[in-house]
Amino acid sequence: MLPAENGGSDATQDALNSAPLTGTFCREFLLTNQNPDGGWGYHPTSPSGVEATAWALLGLMSGGRVWLPSQPCDRACDWLLHAQLGDGAWPAFPGQPQGCWTTSLASWALQAHGGSVQAVERGLHWVLNAWPAEGTLWWRLRQAVGRSAVVRQDSSLRGWSWTPGTASWVEPTAYALLLLRNLPAEMLTSQMKKRRRLAERMLYNRMCPSGGWNSGNPLVYGVAGVPRVGPTSWALLALIDHAERAENRISLDWLEQTFGEIRGAASLALAHRCLTAYGRQAPPLAPMLGSLYARNRFFENTLAVAWAALALSVNENRSSETSSGALTS
Amino acid sequence: MSFATRSLMLPFARPASRVAILRARSYDGDISKLLWEALREFDLPVQGKKVLLKPNFVEPDAEGVINTHPAVVGAARECFLRLGAASVLVAEGPGHERDTEAIVETIRLRDYLGPLNNLLVDLNLDEVHPVTLPTRASKLQRLYLPKTVLEADFVVSLPKLKTHHWVGATLSLKNMFGIVPGCCYGWPKNILHWAGITPSILDINSAVRPDFALVDGIVGMEGNGPIQGSPKASGVLILGDDPVAVDATAARVMDLDPERIEYLVKAGALLGHVKTDKIRQLGESIASVRTPFAMLPAFRKLQIRNPRP
Q: Is residue A132 one of the residues assigned to a domain? A: yes
pLDDT in tens, B48-107: 999 999 999 999 998 889 999 999 999 999 999 999 999 999 999 999 999 999 999 999
Q: Say which of A7, A93, A230 has its CB closest to residue B114.
A: A7
Picking from B251, B259, B248, B139, the residue whose alpha carbon sits closest to that of residue B203 is: B139
Q: Strands (DSSP E) along chain A, which ranges?
A: 219-220, 223-224
Say what the pLDDT of residue A137 is: 74
Is B302 an 8 Å CB contact of chain A?
no
Determine, for residues B101 and A299 on separate chains, whether the beta-carbon distance falls below 8 Å. yes
* Band of residue A187 on the pLDDT scale cut at 50, 70, 90: confident
Q: How far is A66 from chain B (nearest CA, A)?
A: 32
pLDDT at A163: 98
Given this model, what pLDDT does residue A317 score?
A: 60
ipTM of the shown complex: 0.94
> Would you tell me which residues 184-203 of chain B have a C-beta closer than 8 angstroms to some C-beta of chain A?
184-188, 190-191, 193-194
Is A265 in contact with B125 (Cβ distance < 8 A)?
no
Burial of A137 (0-12, 13-18, 19+ CB in 10 A): exposed
CA atoms within 13 A on the CB side of B165: 19
How confident is residue A135, by pLDDT bands cut at 50, 70 and 90?
Answer: confident
Q: How far apart are CA A203 and CA A198, in angstroms?
A: 9
**pLDDT higher than 80, residue B11:** no
Please give the pLDDT value at position A141: 74
Question: pLDDT-derived band of residue B2, with 50, 70 and 90 as boundaries?
Answer: very low
Size of interface A-B (CB pairs under 8 A): 160
**DSSP structure string for A48-104:** PBHHHHHHHHHHHHTT-TTT--HHHHHHHHHHHHHH--TTS---SSTT-SS--THHH
pLDDT digits (tens, 9 = 90+) for A298-309: 999 999 999 999
Total domains, chain A: 1
Would you call B194 and A165 a contact, using CB atoms and an 8 Å cutoff? yes
Q: Taking 50 as the threshold, does the pLDDT of residue B266 lie above it? A: yes
In a domain, A206, yes or no: yes
C-alpha B175/C-alpha B73 separation (Å) is 14
Query: Smallest CA–CA separation between A162 and chain B, in Å?
Result: 5
Is the model's pLDDT at A75 over the cut of 60?
A: yes
Contacting residues of A for B32, CB less than 8 Å apart: 1
Angle (CA) B44-B47-B49 rounded to 5° is: 100
Average pLDDT over residues A119-144: 86
8 Å CB contact of B101 and A221: no
Cβ contacts of A146 within 8 Å, gap of 6 or more: none
- Residue numbers in B near A39 (CB within 8 A): none
Domain B20-236 has CATH 1.10.287: no
Residue A143: half-sphere exposure toward Cβ, Cα within 13 Å: 16
Q: How many CB atoms lie within 10 A of CB A72?
A: 18
Selected residue with higher pLDDT from A102 and A223:
A102
Q: Is B111 on the interface with A (CB under 8 A)?
A: yes
pLDDT digits (tens, 9 = 90+) for B112-163: 999 998 999 999 999 999 999 999 999 999 999 999 999 999 999 999 999 9
Give the separation between CA A200 and CA A206, rounded to whole angstroms: 10
User: Is there a domain that residue A329 lies in?
Assistant: no
Predicted confidence band of residue A8 (pLDDT cuts 50, 70, 90): very low
Selected residue with higher pLDDT from A163 and A226: A163
Q: What is the pLDDT of residues A151-163, one digit of tens each?
A: 667 888 999 999 9
Residue A63's pLDDT band, with cuts at 50, 70 and 90, is confident
Structure pTM? 0.93
Q: Looking at the domain assignment, is residue A126 inside a domain?
A: yes
| Reported confidence tier of residue A222, pLDDT bands at 50, 70, 90 | confident
Do B190 and A161 count as a contact with CB atoms less than 8 A apart? yes
Whole-number pLDDT of residue B47:
98
The CATH number of the domain where A194 resides is what? 1.50.10.20
Q: Which of A197-236 are b and which e, b meaning 16 or more Cβ less than 10 Å from the residue's Cβ?
A: eebbebbbbbbbeebbbbbbbbbbbebebebbbbbbbbbb
Find the mean pLDDT for residues A249-263: 97
How confident is the model over A47-72, as a mean pLDDT?
89
- When CB atoms are compared, the residue of B30, B100, B112 closest to A4 is B112
pLDDT of A322 > 60? The answer is no
Dist CA A326 CA A237 (whole Å): 7
Percent of the residues in chain A that have a pLDDT greater than 70, as a whole number: 87
Q: How far is CA B242 from CA A225, A310, B174, B247, in A?
A: 35, 47, 14, 9
Cβ of A1 and B32 within 8 Å? Answer: yes
Question: Does the distance separating the beta carbons of B117 and A299 come in below 8 Å?
Answer: yes
Phi, psi of B142 (to 5 degrees): -150, 145
First to last CA, chain B: 39
CA distance A40 to chain B (A): 12
Domain assignment present for residue A323? The answer is: no
Confidence of residue A258 (pLDDT cuts 50, 70, 90): very high
Name the closest residue on chain B to residue A299, using Cα atoms.
B117
Q: Averaged over B242-265, what is the pLDDT?
A: 98
**Measured between CB atoms, does B32 come within 8 Å of chain A?**
yes
The answer to whether the CB of A88 falls within 8 A of the CB of A126 is: yes
Best of A1, A6, A173, A228 to substitute, by most chain B Cβ atoms within 10 angstroms, is A1
Whole-number pLDDT of residue A3: 45
B214-226 in b/e burial notation, b at 16+ Cβ within 10 A?
bbbbbbbbbbbbb
Whether B4 has a pLDDT exceeding 80, the answer reads no
Is there a contact between B184 and A92 if contact means CB atoms under 8 Å apart? yes
